[in-house]
Structure 1
Amino acid sequence: MILKRLSIILLLIFSSTSFAFGEEVNNNEHQINFFTGNFDFSDDKQKAILVGFQHQNENLNRDTFLGNVSPITGGFVTENSAAYIYTGIEWNVDMGGLTFTPSFAPGLYHEGDGKDLGHVLEFKSEVQLSYAASDKTSFGVSYNHVSNASLGDKNPGANSYMFNFIRNF
């Protein structure tokens, strides 16, 4: 029920216009990525549906020899009440009509009734491929691995895939 409510709230945010308090917001200054998918799909006993969001501020991006680098902040929650919040960086590599986006983000994990990943500090490595349907909207697919880099007594990791709805505003 919580996941359904969170999904509805996030969809309402995405469907809002580009006006805030009667003033026009600069185009494409911020990017919100709403995603849903399957947490730890490779473990039949622990897999769970997840929903999440990620924010990127385009004003903080930098062009480098690795592509366009920018900070990200986000989080997700699973149907088993596991939660992960993170902040890190992503690279946006324009490939014509597609954008390839690898990212890395350390974060804090709470297992809830979900999988014990072995430590509160976890690291998320992700790759995403997205298609720009318009200058403000993209759709993508992504895969990530969350692991504690052997900081804890155990390090089972979790592999997830997601479907992404990306909105620039």
Structure 2
Amino acid sequence: MKQKKLYLFLSLVLFFTPVNSETEYSFYTGTFDTIDKEGDDEANLYGFEHNNPVLFRDTFVGKFSPITGGFVTDKSSIYLYTGVQAEYEIGPLNVVPSFAPGYYEEGDGKDLGMALEFKSELKLSFDIFKDSKIGYSYSHISNNDWGDINPGVDNQAISFSKNF
């Protein structure tokens, strides 16, 4: 059932993406709850992210664009999110901070306290080929103490991004 929700979400993202625009898709994998002290909630994560740079806004503090994505863990946890990212290019290096509220379902994984969770992330990526990037990201997900509990999780991931 949880995988069906993720497939439905990803299908909607692809369906509503304009065909004639340059769109960036990222696939990533990594570790969920990477600094878990007990080690019982750590899991592998597999994710997908969509960024439409045509919708960017160039401001005095950077280039901002919307992001949408989601991931599943091997413990059946799901996180679906949509938010905003900034992009700063330093030669072939891209520094990309982002913030995205989202829906979390714990499955057999870690209880984060509530369904509404917030993800803040810092990604460093390098241009490797024309329209392709490889990157490393570190993110934190928590509910800002709005839930009954707020253990939060820190995640690490390696990503591959391609513009179409």
Shorter-normalised TM-score: what interval?
Answer: 0.7 to 0.9
Please state if 1:62 is matched with 2:73: no
| Deviation readout 1:135-158 (Å, 9 max, x if unpaired) | 211000000000000111110000
| Deviation readout 1:61-114 (Å, 9 max, x if unpaired) | 111112110000000000000000000000010011100000000000000000
Distance 1:58 1:130 in 2: 16
Distance 2:61 2:119 in 1: 19
Distance 1:145 1:55 in 2: 19
| Deviation readout 1:15-42 (Å, 9 max, x if unpaired) | xxxxxxxxxx65x710001000000011
Q: Which of residues 46, 64, 69 is equivalent to 1:51?
A: 46
How many residues get paired?
A: 148
Please state if 1:141 is matched with 2:136: yes
Q: Which of residues 20, 23, 26 is equivalent to 1:30?
A: 23
Please state if 1:42 is matched with 2:35: yes
Distance 1:103 1:167 in 2: 18
Partner of 1:118, secondary structure, is: coil
Distance 1:90 1:155 in 2: 24
Please state if 1:160 is matched with 2:155: yes
Letter in 2 for 1:33: S
Please, which runs of 5 or more residues in structure 2 have no aligned partner?
Answer: 11-18
Distance 2:150 2:119 in 1: 13
User: Please, what is the CA RMSD of the aligned residues?
Assistant: 1.9
Under a length normalisation based on structure 1, what TM-score does the superposition of the two structures give?
Answer: 0.83
Identity of aligned residues (%): 52
Distance 1:60 1:76 in 2: 23
Moved over 4 A (4+): none
Equivalent in the alignment of 1:19: none
Partner of 1:133, secondary structure, is: strand
Equivalent in the alignment of 1:121: 116
Distance 2:144 2:138 in 1: 18
